[in-house]
Amino acid sequence: MERIKEALLSPEPEKEYQSRIELDFFRHSIKENIFSDDSVNPLSPAGRHFIKKQAEPGKIRQSLAFGSPRERAPHSALLKMAGAEAEITGDESFEELKAKLNATLKIGTKIVIDPELDLSMDYSGPFGAAVAEHWYGDGYLSFITNESDQLAKELGDTTSVYTYSRLSARVAKFIQKHLKVAPVWDRLVKQEKYPSNVLSRFFGSHGGMLEAFLLKIIETLKGKEQRDILIKLLDDENFAPTEGFKIFIDTGPDGGQKIHVFYHKEKDGQVLFHFDEEVSVDLINQLACGETKK
């Protein structure tokens, strides 16, 4: 349980941006582990309160939560988005929390269910068997980063999600979508239609889904040695509950866009890994297409 206690801190704010879109990607909180059907395995009471404590005040109005079709992911996203609100106790079921937050809206909803935040648990066929061997055994992240792309190519597997490039592409496509939103948001900020210049999005996902993107960014910008340091810190498995990274899309006064990827891992007050780097739009586009060029 020590990994669960690790803190994900916020970066120091950028000095120069006119508007910002903040994308918060993270693994769901602690689940019950009592259901045979993983698709309905909900958050435990401890898991609900654990992620509620990570919520920041003032995030609710200009925010939206996203989650996979598995309840614990969108439930986590809603709690991280709105958990600091006085009316949220942390004891609400997913349906109760969703109803409570949607009741404050004239139209629409505060939660979006997106299958692209989920993983297909199909381990059939030679490639699926290889994934299962490492997922239930040892070396999942090493397999994903070093072997999965080539093995899928050799086996002619064109559908499995579990490859380095395909997992990275899923996250990159979410960033691409918000790069298109950024100019619209910037215009609204200029018109002073909102009290804050930051638009927040919360993405609840699952272990094994998000890590590939972060590792590929680190590998591309800092090299395999730094990537492998993080793999070791993650025990060659996946993120701990609620662990993840943030993406900041900043629009400057001149309309130019900057993308930052931020990840921070510490334990008992000791910083284990810190990554806060600008990433080019070209790199995001390459990753979204499944490319790996620098």
Model confidence pLDDT, tens digit, residues 121-130: 788 899 999 9
State residue 10 phi and psi, 5-degree precision.
-95, 145
What pLDDT does residue 58 have?
82
CATH of span 2-288? 3.40.50
Check if the beta carbon of residue 242 is closer than 8 Å to that of residue 27. Answer: yes
Rounded to whole angstroms, the Cα distance separating 291 from 172 reads 11
pLDDT above 70 coverage of the chain, percent: 93
Q: CB of 282 within 8 A of CB of 219?
A: no
Q: 87-126, pLDDT tens digit by residue?
A: 999 999 999 999 999 998 888 999 999 999 998 878 889 9
Angle 164-190/148-155 helices, nearest 10 degrees? 120
CA distance 224 to 240: 22
Sheet containing 257-267: give its strands across.
Answer: 111-113, 63-67, 198-205, 19-27, 244-251, 257-267, 270-279
According to the model, what pLDDT value does residue 60 have? 87
Helix (H) / strand (E) containing 232: helix 224-233
Q: Please give the pLDDT value at position 133.
A: 95
Q: How confident is the model at residue 80 (pLDDT cuts 50, 70, 90)?
A: very high
**Exposure of 67 by Cβ count < 10 A (0-12 exposed, 13-18 middle, 19+ buried)?**
buried
Q: Model's pTM, two decimal places? A: 0.93
Percent of the chain exceeding pLDDT 90 equals 82
Which residues does residue 24 pair with via DSSP β-bridges, in sequence order? Answer: 202, 246
pLDDT of res. 83: 96
- Average pLDDT of the segment spanning 52-71: 93
Considering just the CA atoms, what is the radius of gyration of the chain in Å? 19
- The pLDDT-based confidence of 2 (bands split at 50, 70, 90) is very low
> Confidence class of residue 9 from pLDDT cuts 50, 70 and 90?
low
Confidence class for position 10, pLDDT limits 50, 70, 90? low
pLDDT range class, residue 11, cuts 50, 70, 90: low
Identify the CA nearest to 272 among candidates 6, 26, 11, 51.
6
For the segment 228-247, the average pLDDT, to the nearest whole number, is: 97
pLDDT tens-digit readout, 196-209:
999 999 999 999 99
Tell me how far apart the alpha carbons of residues 25 and 204 are, in angstroms, rounded to a whole number.
6
Residue ranges with strand state E in 236-287: 244-251, 257-267, 270-279
pLDDT band for position 292 (50/70/90)?
Answer: low
Q: Which residues pair with 276 in a beta bridge?
A: 262
Query: Does position 147 have pLDDT exceeding 50, yes or no?
Result: yes
**Residue 59 in tokens:** 């995030």
Q: Which residue has the tokens 């499944």?
A: 290
For the chain, domain boundaries: 2-288
Strands 270-279 and 63-67: unpaired
- Average pLDDT value over all residues in the chain: 92
